[in-house]
């Protein structure tokens, strides 16, 4: 099950990316999953980056519809910054109590890598676009191809659940 939606609220601008660049390097910003010289997960608190709030709320609304919930699900999120030569290895998000996983694309240069969902003959290829949401089950193996562009690709990974 893969669901694609486009945001009606996201409009990329220089001020957004400048603030992201400042916040990602603050000592309070948590970074995890160090692979091949880069942290795959950059955790910036929603409260100090209100510019992302409308996108996360929209994501929660899509997830609520997909899951058939009466309330908005909780969302855990992180930024994933990929520069030239970076890729994300195959993994899943079913370690905890996630009900749904997703990704939202903030910046997608040409040749920055497709999202691959599934394994072997069951692999679905998604060509990301700025403003695109992709939702999938947390147990789906997924990876991102190498960024072959000279520009940064930026996305937000998400997991949805209920407390």
DSSP 28-65: T-EEEEEETTEEEEEE--GGG-GGGHHHHHHHHHHHHH
Look at residue 153 and give its three-state secondary structure: strand
pLDDT value for 9: 94
How far apart, in whole angstroms, are the C-alpha atoms of residue 41 and residue 154?
Answer: 11
pLDDT value for 124: 93
Q: What averages of pLDDT result for each successive group of 10 residues across the chain (163 residues)?
A: 92 91 89 73 91 96 97 95 89 84 97 90 92 95 95 95 87
Residue spans per domain, the chain:
2-161
- Tokens in use for 5? 């939606």
According to CATH, the topology of domain 2-161 is: Jelly Rolls (2.60.120)
pLDDT value for 7: 96
pLDDT value for 20: 93
pLDDT value for 32: 74
């Amino acid at each position: 099950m893969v669901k694609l939606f486009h945001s009606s609220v996201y409009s990329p601008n220089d001020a957004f990316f400048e603030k992201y660049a400042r916040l990602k390097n603050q000592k309070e910003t948590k970074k995890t999953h160090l692979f091949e010289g880069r942290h795959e997960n950059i955790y910036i608190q929603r409260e100090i980056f209100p510019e992302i709030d409308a996108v996360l709320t929209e994501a929660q609304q899509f997830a609520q519809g997909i899951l058939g919930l009466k309330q908005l699900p909780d969302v855990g999120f992180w930024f994933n910054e990929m520069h030239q030569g970076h890729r994300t290895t195959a993994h899943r998000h079913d370690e905890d109590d996630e009900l749904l996983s997703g990704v939202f694309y903030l910046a997608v240069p040409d040749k920055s890598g497709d999202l691959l969902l599934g394994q072997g003959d069951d692999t679905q290829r998604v060509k990301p676009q700025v403003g695109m949401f992709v939702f999938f089950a947390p147990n789906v193996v997924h990876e991102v191809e190498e960024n072959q562009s000279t520009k940064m690709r930026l996305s937000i990974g998400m997991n949805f659940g209920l407390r």
